Every structure is written in C-alpha cells, then in structure tokens.
Amino acid sequence: MKDLENIIKNLSSEKREILDKLIKEEGMSASLFSMTSRSKKSNVAPLSFSQEQLWFLEQFKPGNAAYYRTVGFRLNGSLNIDVLERSFNEIIRRHEILRTTFTTKNGQPVQVIVPELTLNITVVDFQHVVFSEREVEIQRQATEEARKHFDLMRLPLFRIKLLCLGEKEHVLFFSIHHIISDEWSLGVLYRELLVIYKAFSEGKPLQFTDLPLQYSDFAIWRKQILDEIKEKELPYWKKQLDGSNFVLDLPTDRPRSMVQSFKGAKRFLTIPGNLYEAIKQLSRREKCTPFMTLLAALQILLYRYTGQDDIIIGSPIACRNHRETLDMIGLFLNMLVFRTDMSGNPGFHELLGRVRDVTSRAYSYQNLPFEKLVEELQPKRDLSRNPIFQVILQVSPTQVFELPGISVIPLEVDNGAAQFDLAVHLYEGDEQLKGFFEYNTDLFDTPTIDRMVKHFQTLLEGIVSNPQQLISDLPVLSQTERYQLLAEWNNTRVKYPQDLLIHQLFEAQVEKTPDAVAVVFEDKQLTYRELNCRANQLAHYLQSIGVGPDVLVGIAVERSIEMVIGLYAILKAGGAYVPIDPAYPYERIAYMLEDAQVPVLLTQSKLKSRLPSKHARVIYLDTDWDRLIADQSQEDPICQASLDNLAYVIYTSGSTGKPKGVMNTHHGILNRLLWMQETYQLTDSDRILQKTPFSFDVSVWEFFWSLMFGARLVVARPEGHKDNDYLVQIIKKQQITTIHFVPSMLQLFVETEGVDKCDSLRQVICSGEALSVELKNRFISRLDAKLHNLYGPTEAAVDVTYWECLQGNDLRTVPIGRPIANTRIYILDRHIQPVPIGVSGELHIGGVQVARGYLNRHDLTAEKFISDPFSEEPKARLYKTGDFARYLPDGNIEYLGRIDNQVKIRGFRIELGEIETVLTQHPLVREAAVGVRKDALGRTELVGYVVPDQNEKPSVESLRAFLLETLPDYMVPGIYVLLKTLPLTPNGKLDRKALPEPDQVRPEMAQAYIAPSNDVERKLSGIWCDVLCLNRVGIHDNFFDLGGNSLLAIQVIERVRQVFGDDIPVIKLFQYPTVSSFAGSLKDRAGDQVRLYRVENRAKARREAIIRRKEQKKENKIIV
C-alpha cells in the first residue's frame, strides 16, 4: 500500500492530472489511495457513519431484530464439526470487525477491538425429534435464532448453531448483527470459509495473506474525507431532492402508529427463468441494467398503489470503491436515493430512460453517507417512518455457500422484523431471480403483501410483453382479480317490473287499501283514497296548464300534507318536481328558479314574501285550491311519462358557489325503491317518519317508498328534524318503525333522554356522512333496532351501496358495503383503471341509477358523467363521485373521504376525516370537526372544533395528549375551539364553511428567545448549549431546529442521566424536543425542584385560563 502511495506521489504533474481525471470519471477520489492502517497501539476506533446510525437505533429501540441477519442451510454429507469451528475462528482472527464491541467514550460511540476471540458452535441434537415434527421444529429453531438478542457491548456479535439431524444430515444457522456486516460481507465469509475448511480438512497450509487493512481503517478514512465528499456531492443531492416531502402514502391495513415498531415478516417469491431472461434482454436493448428495469417496475407499482407522481425509493450500494475493501467484512454499504418523476403518464420505454438517467447520476454521487444527507436535508422528523424513503429495492448476486463434499440447500428464514415499510430483496441466480418482500406487520396484513407480490410479477410480465405501453395501462391485476373487481363484485342484475312508475305503484296500493291511513301530519291525516283523490285533482290541473314529461315544476312549501299532495300530483301529471326549501336565502331561491326555468311553482300563501314570482306561474296550494283545483277530476290522470323521463331535479352545492341541479329519471329512483322494498320489506304495519328536508334526496324514499307498499307516512312538523326531544316523542306517539339520520344528527339523537324507550323502531337508515365505529356501537348499545349504513350521491338516485351494522366486528371503520341491485361500483385511478383491493381510488357509479346529468351544465355533465368503458351497453355512463374509497378483501367498500377534503400541512398530506375520527373517540368529546387556517406568516394550521360532553369540558392538554396517542404530531391541531353545536347545512351535514375563525392563536413553538426560569430548565439549557455548541438555548427552542440530530440526542440524554441520575430513554427527547416540555416530562425524576416547577406551571396555566374565559364575549365560542 505504501509503495502505491509513493508511486502516486512521484508522478509528474501531467500524469497526476491524467490520473485524477480518470479517478474522477470513476466517481472516485485520489483521497481513496490515502487510506492507511490505524495505529495498532490502540484498540479503540471511531464508528463509521453507517455504524453510528445503527448504534443510535439500538439505543433508541434495544434488541431490534430488524438489523440482525440470519441465514440457514441444510447440509447433507460428512461434516467435520471441529474443522468447521476452527475455520470460523480463523476468519475471526483475520477480520477485526468480528472481534469488535461497541461502547461510549467521552460521550461518543466507539468500537473496541479485542485481540482474540474463540467462537464455539452451538450443537443441538435433533436425532430424537420425531421425523414428522422435524420441519416444524427446524422452523421454530430458525425463528428463535433469528430473533435472539445481540448486545453491542458484548462479544460475539454473531452466532453459529448447528442442528444434528443425523450422521450426515445437519442444519446450519449463521446469525450476525448488521453493524459488523453487510450483504457483500456474507460473500467474503462464504468464500473464505470454503477455502479454509478445505485446507484444514486436507491438512494443507492456508494460502491467505493477512489483510493489509481492517474495517476500522475504513471508518477512520471515511471521516477524514467527509468534507471533500460533501463539497463535491451534496449540491447534487440537494438539487435532486428539492421539493419532496419524503412521504410515500402506501395504503395500509391499519393506521400508522406514532413510533415505528420494526415488527415484520417476509413473503418469498421466485421470478421464473423465462421472465428473468426477458427482463435481461429488454435491459440490454434499452442500454441499462436489470436493476434499472426492476427499479422502474417497482416505482410503477408504487405509483399505481399511491397515485403519487413523485416516487422515491432507497437502495443499498456496496460502497467498496477501494480494492482492499473487496475482501473485508464489515458494514460498508451506503444507501442511495432514487427519485423518479412519474408525471405525464409516459410509456414504459420513456420512464425507463428517466430511471436510467436518475440511477446513473446517483452512482456518480454515491459516496456521500446517507446519514449525512439526512442531516443536511433536515426532513420533518417523524418517528413513525424512515426518513427520505420508506421503501427500498435491493438486487444483488446470490451469495453461494459451499463446503467441499457437502450438498448445501438454502433455507428461508424470517426474523419477524422489518427495517422499512416495505423492502424488496431480489437475488440474481444463473437462471432465475429469487427473493422476498419484507414488510412491517403493524401496517400490512399478509394477504395484502401476497397480492402486492403477484401484482409486481404481473407488471413485469406486462412490461416485457409490450414495453411501449403507457405506465397507466400496464397490467397490475391478474385476469382473475380484474374479473372479480369488475364483474363478480358487480353481479347485481335483478329484473324488476318496469311497467309501472312510482305514482302508479301508489295508485295500485290505493286499490288494495283505500281506507288505510296513508299520511299523518300533526292532527291531520288522509287515507290512501283521500290522498290519491287530492293528488289527482292537482295533477289534472297541472296537465291543463302544460305540465307533462320532462316539464319541471317548482315546489316551495313547508313540511305538511300539502307537500305530499304536491309531490305526488307533479309525478301523476308526468312532470318532474324541483324542491325549493323556503328557508333558503332569497338570492339562492331566485337563482334556482331562474336556472330551472320552471313554468309552474307550487307554494303556500304564507311564503309569498320569500319567493320571487316573476319566474313562474305561482299556485298557492292553500288559498288557490278551491278556486283552481277543487273542481278537477278525482280519477287517476293519464300519465305520458316513461322510465327515461325525469322524476325530480334536486339542487346541490357547487364548487363555483352556485348550486347545480341534478336531473334524476324515473328509472333510477324506481330501481332504488324496488331494491329497498326487496331488502327491508315494509308492511302495512310500518310507520315511516318523513323528517328529511325535501331538498335533500333522502326525502325521496321517505315520501314514496312507504306509500308504494301500504305503510303509513308520518310527516314531522317544520323544523322538527332539528329537535331530538320532539323526535323521541313522535316516534313513541306514532310508533315509528323506520327513520333516517345523517350521522351527525344520529350522534345527538342517541344521547337524547328517552331514546331507549323508542322500542317501536325496527330499522334506522344512516347515510349522508361517514358513520363512525363509535357511533355505530353507541347506537347498538342504546337501541334495539337494526342500523343500516348506506352511501350514495344525489347524482345516482339517493343510495347505491348498503351495509348492515353488526356488533362485534373488529373493523376500524364502518364500510359502505356493496352495490345495490342493477348498480355497479368501480374504484378507479385517475386513468380510469381499476385499482387493486386495498388501494384507494375514486369511486365511480354505473347502472340504471346514474342521473341524466346537471341541468343547463353541459360542460360539467361531460366532466362528471363519462362513458362506461366496462359496459357492453353503448350508451352506458359512469358518474365520477369525487369520493375516495377502496375495496376490502371481502368485497365490501370502505369510504375514505372526499378527494377535495384533503390538505397539506408542512408537506404532509392529511385527510381531515382521520383526525376527526380519533378526536371523537375522546371520552369528553361528543362531536368534532377539523378545519384549516392560515397564520400570519401564511402557513397552514389545523384547527380542532369540539362539542364537549355536557358534564365536563376537555382541556387542550388532554386533547393533544389523546391525539398523540394515535396520530403523528403533524396531524394534531394546535388550536382548539369549543362549540355548543357544530354548524350544519339545511340537509343536516356538517357545514365546514360555517366553522368560526379562532379569535386567539396559540404562540408558535419556535418563538423569540425565552430564558430558563428555574434550576431544571437552566441545567437542561446548559447541556443543550454544550452539545450543540451554542451560546444560549431558549426554553421553547426545538432541539432539532437548532441542528440536533440522532447522535447528538444520545449525547444529550447521557448528560441528562449524569445530572439527574436516572435512566431516561432517548425517545423522550424526540417526544419532548424543547427545554420546557422536556423538563415537564421529567416529572419527579429531579426531586423537589421538578415538583415545584410543575406546580408553578399548573398554577400559571390556571390563572391564564381564568383570564381567557373572562374575556370571552361570544356565547357559543370558547378558545382553548
């Protein structure tokens, strides 16, 4: 080595310049040739950067098996155990790293090398194990060995266990800690073991020479050249990774815990020879490596799973650019970051070009330690996931283990741990690829990963068969899966009678039960015959003034018997009704009437002042009846409407700020009502409460379903749907059996006094919002009735999926179920491709209930109502709901929220509904909503709106602490507003726009310097100053914002342990990153000083809270 250095030193300036250029082109540095052997006078050396990271992780989570590697082999043949043991000990003698432990010195982690170590192989006699039980017992031994704890402070950091199954049959397990090895090291070990075992067996001398350098030399050298590497490579990485939030939103089976668990499992796979050969041929044609092709395929899979255009994957690289490192054992690998732009839906050929460019540039800048890259980029710290990337791909040659005269068969070993959310490990053999998907079992179920493995293989097959395909068109689903999603789970065809429309089915029921009570409103009631006669009279009049098929008739009345008569009359006349809530603002009503251009408006005289009259002929159902209608025929009118004509047009809110009218046909709503009857079986003993505002489409089935099948319709008084005491009374008085609630109203209803006495209720239909598990369980505990969760937009005739809520299932959400009769549900990505089970996509609706479109909004109709590519019917359409959903493995659908109800906070994508779900689980919270606001600096902040329990109000501390038990800190609101009730729209849904702006804003955590105020804070601040090399640290300054990192955090904790004399975990600094919060977290650890500190601060907090309450002026709003 010295000779090589002297040769380089004596080169002429011209030759040295040429050498430097060649070295630079290879991504190397002349400094590589200056690696020298450390002084052998000391057995202590610093850790390499990669070792420092693993050492920190061990302090953070001791005994983490994710960084253990265990391999197993079945050995058949004459094995000399003594020679095998001697061979391993010779390898130990050659490689210092195998004789190394780890400790701290002056607050810094160091590696300590011992001069000698003799390893004894643990031999277990398995000959007594019954043959039928051997395989199970071998697997148990493998798992036990793979998870057995390593102590970094004690030797050895690798183990060998040998199971003796017979004289010539053994199983060998070799376990080693990652801090002293990597994948390449196993190859070195296998090669040396073969040579040494053979020489020892034959009694021949070893041909090896001692290694000129050891791993500790590499660790020292890497630190010496760090500044040079950073200068050359850091600018590239900063530019390459600029703008990323470093979060891959893989769909998980369970919510992510606040702290990463590292629990894991493996699912093994084999890519057959013909497919592997096709991958290699494609790679050669595209002038890239098989790794690049596999990387592109994996990034496409993640793109299809997440819908993200910015995909980042990590990958280990050997980082053995120095020749002497090739034969060394140790942790040399570095992690490279591959960020690929997936936007524009390129073809695979184009995408592979992007990946080739990204990987080639990354290889040119491979020497910057990943740990230092993380420090420089300062990504938002999140204990629940790995920084920068959460998925890795490793493709490497198969390391072949051989012993002379012995047949060796590798065994699959699972250590039950995972370093990342997902890690794909592939090993190249001569004819095929083998490997495994390692995954975090706290996030994913085994069937989910099994599907992912199949999707990866299907994708590879699609790529090699046609690499010109767009990445959105490449197959991910197998034909079986595709059939299941598109056909099997949409096998809903039912042949319902189509010879009668809604009002005609009512007329048929009149013939059956003419004298039965049809409708009740307060102290008034009409029989079926009476209702039919009145509706007929009005219908004849409407026909006389031009009402017929597809003619829109406005109706603006308060809830009453006149409302029911009016609706039935409009349908009987052949027209379509347009409900207009008289409580709407005048301007909104005027817009709706003008937009709909209704020629006729039915209303009541008392509402005259609220309604514009210039848009239509106005008929007052109370004062005009005797003059215009009473003399009309009571016979059923001849109706010219057909299934394809409009039944009603309901206006919904629009993104433009103006409502839009949804046109629904007879065919759609008839299908909906016939399905409802088939499913829920109304009889003449049933009583349905009509309480939903008729401008909300749920009212449609309330008005018509009951009277189509002989039940009684009980109409609630105006505004009665907002009075839960009234609802309880009318349910008991009228013996209501069927009722509808949106979840936010059901939440209030189930807590109403006397609700448990509503024993007439047979079934409660819930829709309009997401139904929480907590509310479902609360309902079941209070009422002896069935609860049904339905889903559907106005654009698809009320409801399109259904789910019966049952007690006792362990689902984390209440599904919306499966499609109803003659309805199809597709969950599709942005390119209208079906997504796999468990993957979120936009819910699309097909079938007979899809509306005609939006009234007078041809552009919006074309955008939201698209051609159905999965139907054989030429004019079939799909409605794009704008709702996120995903299929569960059993075929039921989980609603995930609105696409447009999504926010980004500090680069993290957040679904507000997720926070709301957790917040409502707080024992002192009855209802909750979460909104966003911009602070003075333009940053987006979350605001929690809470309706507290009547008996006690939650504190902000309890709310935050409760949320932090489940959610990452970036999902926890910093501001809370207590409300008496959440604002609701007229349809009873949460009105997010009406959530009030907070009057007071909690000060930012990173604020102006505030000095320590007590002895505990002064000591902590002093420790931080020393470790961070700063002149002062304020009590609200965030440790990591000041430049702290994982290693410095360990130093802080060690200093804190010395000062306060207790075993404080490292994680505490991540949980409490300011001096103030950390001091508070110490509780009684520091004795009376800390207790006094907490008392003082509690008293101060109480005084401040009292002052704030006195300052409140608004009755319904209190800022916490």
Name the DSSP letter for residue 513. Answer: -
CA distances to 65, 109, 176, 180, 817 from 152, in Å: 13, 11, 11, 10, 51
Separation of alpha carbons 628 and 632, rounded Å: 8
- 613 touches 564 (CB < 8 A): no
The angle, 0 to 180 degrees and rounded to 10, between the axes of the packed helices 273-285 and 290-306 is 100
pLDDT at 615 (0 to 100): 73
pLDDT at 715 (0 to 100): 98
Residue 497 phi/psi, 5-degree rounding, is -60, 140
Fold agreement (218-482, 1015-1111): no
Separation of alpha carbons 266 and 507, rounded Å: 64
Pick the closest to residue 187 from 333, 370, 290, 49 (CA basis): 333
pLDDT at 754 (0 to 100): 92
Topology adopted by domain 218-482: Chloramphenicol Acetyltransferase (3.30.559)
278's torsion region: left (phi>0), alpha (psi -120 to 50) or beta? Answer: alpha
- 172 touches 75 (CB < 8 A): yes
Q: Name the superfamily (CATH) of residues 44-178.
A: Chloramphenicol acetyltransferase-like domain (3.30.559.10)
Q: Is the pTM of this model over 0.95?
A: no
- 186 touches 213 (CB < 8 A): no
Separation of alpha carbons 956 and 125, rounded Å: 61
Tallying the residues shown for the chain, one arrives at: 1120
pLDDT at 1088 (0 to 100): 41
Q: Can you tell me which residue has the tokens 């210039």?
A: 614
Tokens of 914: 């997720």
Tokens of 353: 């070009």
Quick one: three-class SS letters along 177-198? EHHHCCHHHHHHHHHHHHHHHH
Separation of alpha carbons 701 and 800, rounded Å: 13
Helix (H, G, I), strand (E, B) or coil at 24: helix
Tokens of 879: 């409605």
pLDDT at 702 (0 to 100): 98
Pick the closest to residue 814 from 870, 759, 773 (CA basis): 773
Topology adopted by domain 1015-1111: 1.10.1200
Partners of 825 in the beta sheet?
845
- 1042 touches 1069 (CB < 8 A): no
Residue 47 phi/psi, 5-degree rounding, is -85, 150
pLDDT at 364 (0 to 100): 95
Tokens of 771: 């139904």
The radius of gyration computed from the CA coordinates of the chain, to the nearest angstrom, equals 36
Separation of alpha carbons 500 and 509, rounded Å: 12
Amino acid at 520: V
pLDDT at 300 (0 to 100): 98
H-state helical runs in 603-723: 666-680, 698-708
Partners of 803 in the beta sheet?
789
Buried b (16+ CB within 10 A) or exposed e, 162-177: bbebeeebbbbbbbbb
Domain map of the chain by residue range? 2-34, 44-178, 218-482, 903-1002, 1015-1111
pLDDT at 898 (0 to 100): 80
Q: Is the dihedral of CA 708, 712, 715, 716 positive or negative?
A: negative
CA distances to 1027, 1039, 1083 from 1015, in Å: 19, 19, 14
**What residue ranges of the chain have pLDDT lower than 50?**
1-6, 26-27, 32, 657, 904, 906-909, 936-939, 1000-1006, 1084, 1086-1096, 1098-1103, 1105-1120
pLDDT at 10 (0 to 100): 56
Topology adopted by domain 903-1002: GMP Synthetase; Chain A, domain 3 (3.30.300)
pLDDT at 18 (0 to 100): 61
Cis peptide before 983 (omega within 30 of 0): no
Q: Is the dihedral of CA 452, 453, 457, 458 positive or negative?
A: negative
pLDDT at 1035 (0 to 100): 86
Q: In this structure, how many other beta carbons lie within 10 angstroms of the beta carbon of residue 1065?
A: 13
Amino acid at 629: I
